[in-house]
Structure 1
């Protein structure tokens, strides 16, 4: 059977099990081909008329949105800026959580009404097992930016869409959410992939900055001195022992690290410099550019500075006694003020990182155990 276009390929393979003479994988591209295979294995019907009912509403949806409140607040200005650039061209900018549930969107009213018909709206899950091959769900599986255009969507109902999405990574390597731009397939533009990647890169830098309080030392690296301070620099956060607690994707690439190394590898195992020398650089001349080599002999340049929360010694909490009661009360007042400056997301992420260990979380947050405990008890 001769296959002339992608829609015919879909019908040939999905309805009859026939593969075209030219390889299906080459026609679809490896990303879409593998996704279609996963969809078939999960039992999805590409030609189903009834949309799957995987949409949250009411209090369940509000709880899900609240769980990503800080990410939504961070992404909203950028999403509205993108919408301003695209306004009138027809399309919607979408933010999902780490499980593919749409938690915020902004777009042109005319296109939104079309998108609603396929449940491309707040509360809907766009995991592959629910919506077939699509940019949000497939980006979550492959952990990379993805474009899915027209008939590349597994479900026939979604064939009018062109969608491009990229996962948003937190500094600890976990996925916080997904940013997606969807338009009509007739207005698909190949540059949308680059736009989404650049936008997500900017959001990830903001996430790193929001988490800087957790680190003792922050390094900014690039393969040229001129690149430091630019959007292309990489960022690394380490604790007092040198353990890499946070790193963005640029730094991962420059240092040839894997996301699994975060929280395990020490910076002195990666760079040809001692931890003491790094702290000395930060204390004496934090704004100076230094040349460095990695353990793999790659040449890099870096700047380093101490975190604003780092004071050079650990904050081991001592239970108050009668002699030091006034001193501890004063310190608690200071710490409580500092606590107000921390976002709820930062506190939640720190507790997740320490598996609920309040003592360790308090140490990372640079506050006392009692202050954190009282704060948690006060939350609804």
Structure 2
């Protein structure tokens, strides 16, 4: 055993990357023999899944394709969030040891400060790709694994999560790191391309003009003349710091070029390097008002969505109330996409998730050197990022009182001064806040400023909990379609739909979507899912027919259905029974007729 330990240390010092990672692992105070690893509960994991829908939407198809090519090496593809928490594990884990299956399951944490040197955590620590093989892992319990990982970047330059391949260390993994890099490049390329707004400029660059219009090209997206999004390849190759997105202009990047459409590859110079580029202009419209984007109204906005948009366009602050997970951010994003503010950004900040010591700098930004640990380039802050768009303040009831005063001043004066700066910047944005708490009661308790409440709650929209929504089966089917179930020809059987429609959903829409993502991840293409596909906690008994329904004869059921034009939900409510019960009885009525 002593010899193996010595070998492990030797492996750890074989490269500068490993030496530095092992050094950090020791500084974290980790014991190499530790086996008790952090694991999120199902509720918190569901929250993580729901808040990373964009990452999963663009990464899952590629991850699924990648997993199909790894069967011979008994490897799986792992997708984590930006903290190293596993969101999805894709592939066949049956050949792995039990400990490996547990270690790579959703909800486990693979950050470097939690698990020592490992591909996921170390990739996040260095913000670059890496592979960790066998005894190069800091923790002894991980030394039978091989892992290759790379961070995934959002179009606005933020780390979204990590794409990882993990498998038994005794297999050969010659090309695994290259596969991970290639997959990440495609994911980030498609993410930028598919997030492009018709009113934005798209610039493609590559040293070789033959490689334009391929995943190897660099992508830059400009709103007017300001660079707003780019793929990681472009930022790295052109030496652009992600913090400069939203402030650097086309002219600053390419002072010798004019921002005019260019379909034929033309040379451009940047930092003495020659690239070939194409530049696509925004789509032109024949009317002065941009066309309304094709965004479907969620249920809670079907009746008054247009009114909410008019209020938002007029600068009225909206407060969205509802239970946790009921879709407050989704509703807010829909309003933003329909409003005149859609040319700007939708900037969300969760007032409950950010430590009190950091929320001020996150909101208002800071100058270089404003405090210990500050980014050397400073940070403009969420409020300035939202200029021209929408600032979404989630869980506003958890904002510290001291910051409420500063926020109120910004909302009133429309100027913001970063920490450590004597200069103020003008800002103009719409505000949507969201909470599951009673703000009026917080005011009465002295925990929330009354004047800020009146400024933020100029109009209130209450979202009912999912269990109270009508047409729930149709909504479930719509969500299944949006998440890609139909594209993979995976269908939900009627008994499964009925069970889902009658579940209590304490986590609301967030919990429903998280469950559906789990079902999608575990299902085979073309499969029809039954109740047995559900996790145990969701397999509830379908209620027995109610006694009062047994007293309703066929004619009454038929007439009630006719009165509501066949609407099962409304007929069931009129008869005082559950929809599932009426479904069965209505089917008998049809059969009898």
TM-score by length of structure 2 reads 0.50
Structure 2 equivalent of residue 84 of structure 1: 68
Task: Mark the CA change 1:236 to 1:57 in structure 2 (over 3 Å): closer, same or farther.
Answer: same
User: Which of 22, 25, 30 lines up with 1:44 in the alignment?
Assistant: 30
Structure 2 equivalent of residue 187 of structure 1: 171
Could you tell me how far 1:260 is from its partner in structure 2?
3.4
Q: Which has the higher contact order (CA 8 A, sep 6+)?
A: 1
Matched, 1:71 2:71: no
CA contact (8 A) 1:237 1:245 kept: yes
CA distance in structure 1 between the aligned counterparts of 2:287 and 2:245, rounded to whole angstroms: 23
CA distance in structure 2 between the aligned counterparts of 1:347 and 1:183, rounded to whole angstroms: 44
Structure 1 equivalent of residue 228 of structure 2: 245
CA distance in structure 2 between the aligned counterparts of 1:95 and 1:178, rounded to whole angstroms: 6
Matched, 1:114 2:90: no
Cα deviations by residue, 1:181-234 (Å, 9 ceiling, x for unpaired): 001011131311110000000111122123322963111111122121122110
Structure 2 equivalent of residue 360 of structure 1: 388
CA contact (8 A) 2:345 2:389 kept: no
Give unmatched runs, 5+ long, in structure 2.
Answer: 291-305, 314-330, 349-380, 392-428, 435-457, 465-593
Aligned length: 333
CA contact (8 A) 2:347 2:386 kept: yes
Task: Mark the CA change 1:145 to 1:215 in structure 2 (over 3 Å): closer, same or farther.
Answer: farther
Please give the residue correspondences for 1:24-63 in structure 2 after superposition, counting only pairs within 5 Å.
27-48=13-34, 50-52=35-37, 54-63=38-47
Matched, 1:350 2:346: yes
Which piece of structure 1 moves more, 124-133 or 207-216? 207-216
Secondary structure of 1:288 counterpart: strand
CA distance in structure 2 between the aligned counterparts of 1:376 and 1:248, rounded to whole angstroms: 38
CA distance in structure 1 between the aligned counterparts of 2:286 and 2:220, rounded to whole angstroms: 19
User: Which of 134, 148, 152 lines up with 1:168 in the alignment?
Assistant: 152
Matched, 1:263 2:291: no
Could you tell me how far 1:155 is from its partner in structure 2?
0.3
CA distance in structure 1 between the aligned counterparts of 2:177 and 2:217, rounded to whole angstroms: 21
CA distance in structure 2 between the aligned counterparts of 1:79 and 1:135, rounded to whole angstroms: 17
CA contact (8 A) 1:215 1:237 kept: no
Larger radius of gyration: 2
CA contact (8 A) 2:345 2:385 kept: no
Could you tell me how far 1:270 is from its partner in structure 2?
1.7
Secondary structure of 1:351 counterpart: strand
Structure 2 equivalent of residue 16 of structure 1: none
CA distance in structure 2 between the aligned counterparts of 1:186 and 1:150, rounded to whole angstroms: 8
CA distance in structure 2 between the aligned counterparts of 1:74 and 1:246, rounded to whole angstroms: 16
CA contact (8 A) 1:91 1:111 kept: no
Matched, 1:292 2:277: no
CA distance in structure 1 between the aligned counterparts of 2:287 and 2:432, rounded to whole angstroms: 21
CA distance in structure 2 between the aligned counterparts of 1:40 and 1:5, rounded to whole angstroms: 20
Could you tell me how far 1:305 is from its partner in structure 2?
1.2
CA distance in structure 1 between the aligned counterparts of 2:226 and 2:219, rounded to whole angstroms: 14
CA distance in structure 1 between the aligned counterparts of 2:264 and 2:433, rounded to whole angstroms: 36
Give unmatched runs, 5+ long, in structure 1.
Answer: 14-19, 316-327
Could you tell me how far 1:7 is from its partner in structure 2?
4.1
Secondary structure of 1:289 counterpart: strand
Task: Mark the CA change 1:119 to 1:356 in structure 2 (over 3 Å): closer, same or farther.
Answer: farther
Which piece of structure 1 moves more, 56-65 or 132-141? 56-65
Could you tell me how far 1:255 is from its partner in structure 2?
2.3
CA contact (8 A) 1:216 1:307 kept: yes
Matched, 1:218 2:202: yes
CA distance in structure 2 between the aligned counterparts of 1:127 and 1:348, rounded to whole angstroms: 33
CA distance in structure 2 between the aligned counterparts of 1:256 and 1:118, rounded to whole angstroms: 40
TM-score by length of structure 1 reads 0.75
Matched, 1:302 2:277: yes
Structure 2 equivalent of residue 135 of structure 1: 119
CA distance in structure 2 between the aligned counterparts of 1:239 and 1:201, rounded to whole angstroms: 23
CA distance in structure 2 between the aligned counterparts of 1:273 and 1:310, rounded to whole angstroms: 29
